[in-house]
Amino acid sequence: MTQKTNNLKTELTAELDNILEYWSKHTIDSKNGGFIGQIDYKEFKNFEAEKGSVLNARILWSFAAAYSITKNKAHKQLAKQAFKYVIAHFYDAEFGGIFWSINPDKTPKDTKNQIYALAFTIYGMSEYYAISNDERALKYAIALYKKIQEYSYDPINKGYFEAFTRDWQPIEDLRLSDKDANEKKTMNTHLHIVEGYANLYKVWKNEGLQKDIIELLEVIETHFIDQKTGHLKLFFNENWIEKPDVISYGHDIEAAWLLLQCAEISGDENIIERYKKYAILLTDATFEGIDSKDGGLWYELEPETNTLVAEKHWWPQSELMIGFFNAYQMTNDKKYLDVVLKNWEFVKQYILDPENGEWIWGINQDYSKIEKDKTGFWKCPYHNSRACIELIYRIKNLPLAK
């Protein structure tokens, strides 16, 4: 097994460089500054596209996190550029939030405070602080954490509300995207708040933050993890009445490893033990979404009609690799590693773009390419670079690999 995991580590190290090279070479906005808002599936650069805060926060995180492995000064420099751009143009100095999007000329476009975007900015800022010791990055991350606690936290029913206006008033449309239900509390936002908070806690050992992480994990355990099926429940109103929706295989497996990692960062032994159990529960439930024919992970399932959204997007494959490798580390059961190895072969064959670089959006059931962005509001370097980074670290620390 050592040979297989070492080969995987070698290939993922090369792939991390490939991903970062694409973003370094093709996504710098030479016309307007910063990073380009959209490159379509034909590699057409749209310099007039709006720029999303989530994309920019994820670019910041990706280059900062990768620098710890690559030690490439160009990666650290790009992280610095991303940091400066986010602060200069996405941070709202007047109300202390993050603009959802800006125009190419750097003026604010959508000024709502989507808590998901603040969480990702904390994630990126804290990662950048870890490699730079730039106190400004830590200061902004802490300030955004305090804004979330002040306005988004629900002291009555616990958990966090989705979105607000620029000046922190209630807002009618709470959705992250058109496909989401318009509900006040969502799994996706809670997952990424705790991710951002845990990353901040790694560099800022604040007792209040630690308590907030533990409470978040308890809220997720209580409301979002279906203890019977091992899948995640996605949408709720403010009183935790569920609005049933799809099964999201990508989120199931992302939560499997990421929530355990957050629990471990919190240092609370009780919650760590519980999330070890959930890591396996969620991973085992994800087996349902794997296409046995090629090892790819399907996108979603509509449970009421048992209808599969028969697409295989780039990001669930990334999360599957980390989640199943995590289960392999926990159990030493080869069945989990076999899933990772087969999925990586699937990614190499169908998702990597050997001609232009980076990963395509995904494929349809008939293996035709999904004609969606290469770079855009939701197409970023975070999932696939993180899969490479996590597995490189994890393989390095395997007893078998020493």
Rounded to whole angstroms, the Cα distance separating 328 from 317 reads 16
Q: What is the mean pLDDT of residues 3-29?
A: 97
CB 238 within 8 A of CB 184: yes
Over the stretch 295-346, which tens digit does the pLDDT of each residue have?
Answer: 999 999 999 999 999 999 999 999 999 999 999 999 999 999 999 999 999 9
DSSP 309-353: E-EEEHHHHHHHHHHHHHHHHHH--HHHHHHHHHHHHHIIIIIB-
State residue 175's pLDDT score.
86
Instruction: Determine the topology of domain 2-401 in CATH.
Output: Glycosyltransferase (1.50.10)
Percentage of the chain modeled with pLDDT above 70 = 99
Per-residue confidence band for 198, with pLDDT thresholds at 50, 70 and 90: very high
Is the predicted pLDDT of residue 267 greater than 50, yes or no?
Answer: yes
State residue 258's pLDDT score.
98
Q: What is the mean pLDDT of residues 244-261?
A: 97
Is the predicted pLDDT of residue 402 greater than 60, yes or no?
Answer: no
State residue 177's pLDDT score.
82
Structure tokens at 33: 């500054």
- Extents of the domains making up the chain: 2-401
Smallest CA-to-CA distance from 168 within 88, 240, 208, 111 is with 111
At 292, give phi and psi (nearest 5°): -65, -20
**DSSP symbol at 376:** S
How large is the angle between the packed helices 73-85 and 115-132, nearest 10 degrees?
Answer: 140
Smallest CA-to-CA distance from 127 within 143, 108, 141, 110 is with 141
Over the stretch 141-183, which tens digit does the pLDDT of each residue have?
Answer: 999 999 999 999 999 999 999 999 999 999 988 887 888 888 8
State residue 342's pLDDT score.
98
Q: What is the mean pLDDT of residues 19-27?
A: 98
| Residues with Cβ within 8 Å of residue 202, at least 6 apart in sequence | 126, 130, 265
Torsion of Cα atoms, 51 then 55 then 60 then 64, to 10°: -150
- Averaged pLDDT score across all residues of the chain: 96
State residue 400's pLDDT score.
55
Per-residue confidence band for 224, with pLDDT thresholds at 50, 70 and 90: very high
Per-residue confidence band for 85, with pLDDT thresholds at 50, 70 and 90: very high
Over the stretch 200-217, which tens digit does the pLDDT of each residue have?
Answer: 999 999 999 999 999 999
Q: What is the mean pLDDT of residues 357-368?
A: 98
State residue 176's pLDDT score.
77
Percentage of the chain modeled with pLDDT above 90 = 95
Q: What is the mean pLDDT of residues 223-231?
A: 97
Q: What is the model's pTM?
A: 0.97
